[in-house]
Amino acid sequence: MSSSTTPVWFITGCSTGFGRELARAVLERGWRCVATARNKASLADLADGASDRLLTLDLDVTDPKQIAATVEAALKRFGSIDVLVNNAGYGYQAAIEEGVEAEIRAQFDVNVFGLFAMTRAVLPSMRARRKGHVLNITSLAGLAGYAGSGYYAASKHAVEGWSDSLAIEVEPLGIKVICVAPGPFRTDWAGRSLKQTPNRIADYADTAGKRMQNTAQSTGTQLGDPVRAAQTMLKITEVSDPPHNLLLGAASLEGGTKRLRDLLDDIEKWRETSLGADFPAGT
């Protein structure tokens, strides 16, 4: 396979963490990569030995003009975008009552509305070619809410639900949508990509407060390996029937499975009550 026929990956949020490791993995495979970050200077080292297969671009996913410009530049350089990875995003921790309106909205602008806009910009070229993959990096928080992470979980739940609808719409057009939900991974997410509220209410110290403290102290001890995660994401784009939901890591698998089982148990327990909300049969 020549370099001009290898798949083109467009990855947002490559300055650190999953985005950076994924860009490295794509280039090491001999594929082509559009790597973006708020400051593309932070991506200079990715070009070592792969400058002909790499395009680095400045991108703030909350800026519609930048989104349009980067997609245009990617198509001009490589002719296609085969895989879009919506990785840009960050965490915001606060008890629900402690949340700051401006911080909540800023997180949704990146994690939700930026992801929506990025995908809308790439879909026309994928539709025209009747092929493509959209990988949305969600989180275990997209399946289960935890104390201190309500607003982050809300942003990731939004992406999960939106992705369900998108998958139905684009499947007949040859486009696959995959929600990748990591648990805790050994990245610098807690150090660089996590904001915590300065507002602290004593009544939440043992719930949200304790979890925020544990999250801040967990860096470097997580079980998840971002390099292995990147390789996994490459693999799922090469199979004919990829999963719509992929849980990454033992913590995500255990937590996601428990949440879904608890949900089913709750539904079954209250089945008759649910059915009782309908008109009686025959009326």
Which positions are annotated as active-site residues?
152
Task: Return the bridge partners of 194, or none.
Answer: 91
Amino acid at 28: E
Long-range contacts from 21-30, C-beta under 8 angstroms, 24+ separation: 21/226, 21/227, 21/229, 21/230, 22/85, 22/87, 22/230, 22/233, 22/234, 23/54, 24/230, 25/227, 25/230, 25/231, 25/233, 25/234, 26/234, 27/53, 27/54, 29/234, 30/1, 30/3, 30/6
The total of other beta-carbon atoms located within 10 Å of residue 94's CB is 26
Q: 224: which strand partners? A: 185
Q: Report d(CA 205, CA 230) in Å as an integer.
A: 36
Q: In degrees rounded to 5, what are phi and psi of residue 199?
A: -80, 125
